[in-house]
Amino acid sequence: MSITAPSSVRLDPFLRFEADIEAAYEQETGARRVSELRRSIVVGLFVYNVYNLTSIFLLPDILELSVVLRIVGVTPVSVALMWLIGRVDAALREWLVTIGVINAFALPVFLFYWSDAGLSAFTFGELPLTLVFGNMLLMLRFRRAVVFTTAAFALAAAAALAKAGLPAELKTAFVIQIATGAFFSLYANWRSETNRCHSFLRELDARNAAEVANQCSRTFEDLSLTDALTGLPNRRALDNDLAASFKQDRSITVMMVDIDHFKLFNDHYGHPAGDDCLRQIAGCLLDVARDAKASVARFGGEEFTVVSQDLSEFDAARLALRIVEAIRALKIAHPARTDGCQIITVSVGITRVESARVASRQAVLARADDALYVAKRRGRNCWASSAYASAASAI
């Protein structure tokens, strides 16, 4: 996937990615996110239940209620949440975690408010720590951290202001404490989330840039291996293909195909017509070679090559004959010929070796070229073979 919009465009004020980027991010990090959330919930549950010990001293009047709500209420819900978050989509997963931590925060707020014990006010100190847990350890996504922090502040401030028997000065101090705790934990969450989002966007940009560079490289490589006029592989591509073929212990057949009297055609019609003729010849060769599972390249000028592996002598001769006949069937007019034939024809030189490992590329091409000149000397519009000249056939 290639996404090229600048980072500033792809993040809104709540640090939300665009839909396509969010999908890519979830695909890459979703499983890791679930694993990290589960580990954090385990740690949080352990610490959360440690506060049953402090309830012995701070909440003796509702100790049993505190223990039951933590162990029987919040803990099973959290365990169920750990199981569920790996089985829902990303958006629901994050909302479930947010609701879960709000629920966990509400319990100590309730205990602080409900207890009449003399030291119950000190349980208020647990609340900023729960804010830190939600915003920094669970690392709620920023927009959900805003929801959690707002809800937590509202619950804690309301409980502090409504708690009976609490001096007004202490109520004010508690509200200020929970406000600063909310601000600092939310600000820390925003910084972490900002770094997370921009880090992913930078990584995404880097991957996209690398992909574009690779595509450009492949495009340039394709261009460097392609003949611009005919669209066929060029001489460089032919050399690469032959190099690969010669590493295999298989028979190989190479044919040199030359357009007869092409210079006279160019002189008569001009180079634009000559170029069009070359393109027609290239297309025809491709059609014939495709049926024979052979490859075609433009060797240079009016010369082409056809290469195939594992052709028998008979099949190689039959393919060469098909090439000669197919080009002749195009009936491209060539009135400038002096040999009485008024259409474009080709001559084909064939060479074949049983194992490419026992010959060199240069030697095989040279033998095919020698066979081509045999066909030329025999009057053109025919094929000849350097391996079995007696099978040469004039058309």
Distance between CA atoms of residues 344 and 335, nearest Å? 9
Backbone angles phi, psi at 27, to 5 degrees: -60, -40
Quick one: tokens of 219? 């495009």
CB atoms inside a 10 Å sphere around CB 128 = 18
Q: Which ranges constitute the DSSP H helices of 298-388? A: 313-330, 361-377
Strand intervals (E) in 260-313 = 295-300, 303-309
Q: Which residues pair with 297 in a beta bridge?
A: 305
- DSSP letter assigned to residue 226: B
C-alpha gyration radius of the chain: 41
Strand partners, 127: none
Single-letter amino acid, residue 51? Y
CA distance 254 to 233: 15
Catalytic residues: 302
CB atoms within 10 A of CB 150: 13
Distance in angstroms (rounded) separating the CA atoms of residues 2 and 205: 9
Q: At 343, is the secondary structure helix, strand, or coil? A: strand
Q: Where are the beta strands (DSSP E) in the chain?
A: 252-259, 295-300, 303-309, 346-353, 382-385, 393-394
CA distance 178 to 153: 6
For residue 249, count CB atoms less than 10 angstroms from its CB and return exposed for 0-12, middle for 13-18, buried for 19 or more: exposed
* 282 C-beta neighbours (distance < 10 Å), count: 19
Please spell the DSSP secondary structure of 183-217, one letter per residue: HHHHHHHHHHHHHHHHHHHHHHHHHHHHHHHHHHH
Sheet strand arrangement including 346-353: 295-300, 303-309, 252-259, 346-353, 382-385, 393-394
